[in-house]
A = this chain, B = another copy of it.
């Protein structure tokens, strides 16, 4: 068991002490659930940090280990460690229940209850009212926990049994079933708003029916897998999840800020989203501390499934799946860019992570080589040459035959290295995360500006 350093012990102790104090005072004085959520996330951070450190040896002993090939001395480090923060997350989710649910308030948008009482209560304590949940929200909360626990379960099965790619791809869809069942029973809304230019043809809203469930299942498949394939360097899986989580929280905050007229109809959904994301940020920060360059632990597929599923859950429950896709732009690009290799149009080596140059200590684009045994179709070669001219890939061409003999692997990490030249591993991760943050902020800005044009109204106002 690796002990904590003194500094770590004191810092984590101080964080835990402050968070506990907030929670205890909140239980006594009916405090603000938003602060409680922050406090629980702080505790989740401290607990995850310790338990990851303490459990590394146990994981190594049980055979959960991997070799970090992008280091001069590739030593074996624990693999599959993301399961611990995921379990702590479930604990945090549970611990938060008594702080946020109260049986004596009714749902804002509910038709039941005495409207006059409701309005009065709203005027009296608009803010408090907003940040607490009525009992009707218990069901979505419970099913969210069910879904996330199922996602972690299936992630563990994947990490333990090394499932085949075509199986693991669909795993998140199974995990999302409880949420879809809840959605069908409790909400059942399957329409989408139609953008203004198309309203002449389709009406203001269009009914998708069963297609909407297929769409939600696809979203649950998409989020975890996208995070899972943008991987291969220290800290990138956790880092990108953190960036996405922060961007969604930022978007949620827009609906809850005091400048927006309250009670806003979408406020509760976005509040639930914040409550689900803050503990994710807490446990992910702890994991990132251990997984950042030079990594002491690997996170495993379980973490990717779990984090991706949290995003799918908040988007489905909060009805903002289109906004979600805006903060996934680099992942979507990476998926589309990878598709030729994933679907075997371009031969795909077993690993596509950037190549470590032991002489310089820097990462360089890794390449797929094409030979007579692994041929490249001529038409694909021509397309690659064009992409090369557009600087979207780097290929090597046999000068005598004019045929493409190798190409950089089609991942955003390799592409970034093609653009920027060799980089150290942490530098590459930082730049990718910065790019992701910029894309996400731009996406959100466009969403709230363009919404006015496309839908005639931004639902934030």
Q: Which residues of chain A from 64 to 113 have any CB-CB distance to chain B below 8 Å in the complex?
A: 83, 87, 90-91, 93-95, 97-98, 101, 103, 112
A174 at the interface (CB under 8 A from B): yes
Known A-B contacts A91-B174, A156-B156; A182 and B142 likewise in contact (beta carbons under 8 Å): yes
A135 at the interface (CB under 8 A from B): yes
Chain B's nearest CB lies how many Å from the CB of A54? 13
A371 at the interface (CB under 8 A from B): no
Q: Which residues of chain A from 140 to 162 have any CB-CB distance to chain B below 8 Å in the complex?
A: 140-143, 145-146, 149-150, 152-154, 156-157, 160-161
A427 at the interface (CB under 8 A from B): no
In the bound complex, do residue A186 and residue B103 qualify as a contact, i.e. CB atoms below 8 Å apart?
yes
Known A-B contacts A94-B178, A138-B139; A153 and B146 likewise in contact (beta carbons under 8 Å): no
A361 at the interface (CB under 8 A from B): no
Contacts of A90 in B (CB 8 A): 150, 153, 178
Pick from B58, B62, B112, B142: contact of A143, CB under 8 Å: B142
Pick from B98, B135, B181: contact of A98, CB under 8 Å: B181
Main secondary structure of the interface of A (DSSP, over half): helix
In the bound complex, do residue A58 and residue B161 qualify as a contact, i.e. CB atoms below 8 Å apart?
yes
Known A-B contacts A90-B150, A153-B153; A138 and B62 likewise in contact (beta carbons under 8 Å): no
How many copies make up the complex? 2
Chain B's nearest CB lies how many Å from the CB of A23? 14
Pick from B94, B142, B149, B182: contact of A153, CB under 8 Å: B149
A185 at the interface (CB under 8 A from B): yes
Q: Which residues of chain A from 337 to 386 have any CB-CB distance to chain B below 8 Å in the complex?
A: none
Pick from B63, B112, B146: contact of A112, CB under 8 Å: B112
Pick from B138, B153, B160, B161: contact of A87, CB under 8 Å: B153
Assembly CA distance A150 to B63 (angstroms):
23
Q: Which residue of B lies closest to A178 (CB)?
A: B94
Assembly CA distance A177 to B142 (angstroms):
12
In the bound complex, do residue A161 and residue B62 qualify as a contact, i.e. CB atoms below 8 Å apart?
yes
Pick from B91, B101, B157, B185: contact of A185, CB under 8 Å: B101
List residues of A whose CB falls within 8 A of some B CB.
Answer: 58, 62-63, 83, 87, 90-91, 93-95, 97-98, 101, 103, 112, 135, 138-143, 145-146, 149-150, 152-154, 156-157, 160-161, 174, 177-178, 181-182, 184-186, 188
